[in-house]
Amino acid sequence: MSGCLTVVGLGPGDDRFLTPEARKALASAQALYGYGPYLDRVPLRDGQARNPSGNRVEGTRAQVALAHAASGAHVAMVSGGDPGVFAMAAAVCGEIEDGPEAWRALDLRIVPGITAMLAVAAKAGAPLGHDFCAISLSDNLKPWELIERRLDAAASGGFVIAFYNPISTARPWQLGQAFARLGHHLSPTTPVIFGRAVGRDDEAITVTTLDKAAETPADMATLVIVGSPETRVVTRNGQTPLVYSPRMTAPVSA
Ligand code: SAH
């Protein structure tokens, strides 16, 4: 039997967000790999081996799963959200590039999922209705100076910006510094959305402005969206304000 590796996106929360394609890929796998809390979200099936690992061992986890698939097994690797967005699909591709020839011959499939940015945007209205970008604020895998350069470029380019990995106990100051940096380019009233644990029971959406954003609590389960100069807020009685970026942007003046 020839093996295969499927990298499956679970979406942001519970199994309402699992696509039919992802469900099928998970059900047919003989062995599952992934970060423990993500594996816990996968419906149990008898006879399927589960191999949880910590969240800092992406390369090793990819190697073990690739070696298992190369031995002839049907292996699935799970990721929260979409596996291609700051997640396992790139780690798997990296190991395939650097690893033995047999890994390049494997049947590799990547099954997309709903990424956190889209789930948070949908809860808030349509903040990504016009040009946007996504930046991971984690400086574990890239230097902080590069993040600052990208913040300047994104804000001066007029993009809405989604921040993944905004803060953690090991990285407590980066989010505040990012807001301060954006404050050099954007109005203090620029809308900022905090979406926490979207798609789960403890989901919370907060809409604030750039000048107050640093006071708003955030953690590793939070995704932050900072509006562009075009992003608008519509207040509604008894409901979270609607945040959207209009489809049309005014012509650039000469
Ligand atoms: N592959 C994932 C992202 C991994 S990076 C995806 O496509 O969504 C991890 C970051 O994603 C977190 O720090 C947080 O910023 C964001 N995130 C993941 N799940 C989330 C959720 N349910 N609600 C809000 N943000 C989430």
Please indicate, yes or no, whether residues 32 and 55 belong to a single structural domain of this protein: yes
Task: State whether 128 and 92 are in the same domain.
Answer: no
Residue 139 sits in the same domain as residue 226 = yes
218 within ligand 1 shell (Cβ under 6 A): no
Residue 56, pLDDT score: 72
Q: What is the pLDDT of residue 254?
A: 62
Same structural domain for residues 101 and 165? no
Answer yes or no: is 165 within a domain: yes
Report if residue 159 sits inside a domain: yes
53 and 124 in one domain?
no
Whether 83 maps to a domain, the answer reads yes
Is any atom of ligand 1 closer than 6 Å to the C-beta of 220? yes
In a domain, 253, yes or no: no
AA letter at 143? P
Nearest-angstrom CA–CA distance, 61 and 63: 5
pLDDT the model gives residue 1: 60
Looking at residue 139, which CATH number applies to its domain? Answer: 3.30.950.10
| Domain shared by 26 and 102, yes or no | yes
Kindly state the tokens that stand for 127: 């903040």
Q: Atom 2, ligand 1: which residue's CA is nearest? A: 81
Phi-psi region of 176 (alpha: psi -120 to 50; beta: other; left: phi over 0): alpha
Note down the domain range covering 165. 117-244
Using one digit for the tens of pLDDT, what is the confidence trace for 36-48? 999 998 988 888 9
- The 3-state DSSP class for residue 196 equals strand
Q: Are residues 107 and 214 in the same domain?
A: no
The answer to whether residue 227 is domain-embedded is: yes
Atom of ligand 1 nearest to the CA of 82: 7
Does residue 105 sit in the same domain as residue 121?
no
Interval 215-224: pLDDT, tens: 999 999 999 9
Residues 6+ apart with CB under 8 A from 169: none
Last residue of a domain, one of 83, 114, 145: 114
129 plus 88 within the same structural domain: no
Percent of all residues in the chain with a pLDDT value above 90, rounded to a whole number: 89
Tell whether 169 and 186 lie within a shared domain: yes
Last residue of a domain, one of 71, 89, 114: 114
Instruction: State the average pLDDT over residues 50-54.
Output: 88
In a domain, 69, yes or no: yes
pLDDT for position 243: 98
Q: What is the pLDDT of residue 53?
A: 87
Residue 16: give its domain's CATH number.
3.40.1010.10
How remote is the CA of residue 253 from the centroid of ligand 1, in Å? 37
Provide the whole-model pTM: 0.96
Mutate-to-test residue for ligand 1 from 164, 165, 219, highest number of ligand atoms within 8 A of CB: 164
Alpha helix ranges (H) inside 125-167: 144-156
72 and 121 in one domain? no
Question: Which of 114, 144, 162 is the endpoint of a domain?
Answer: 114
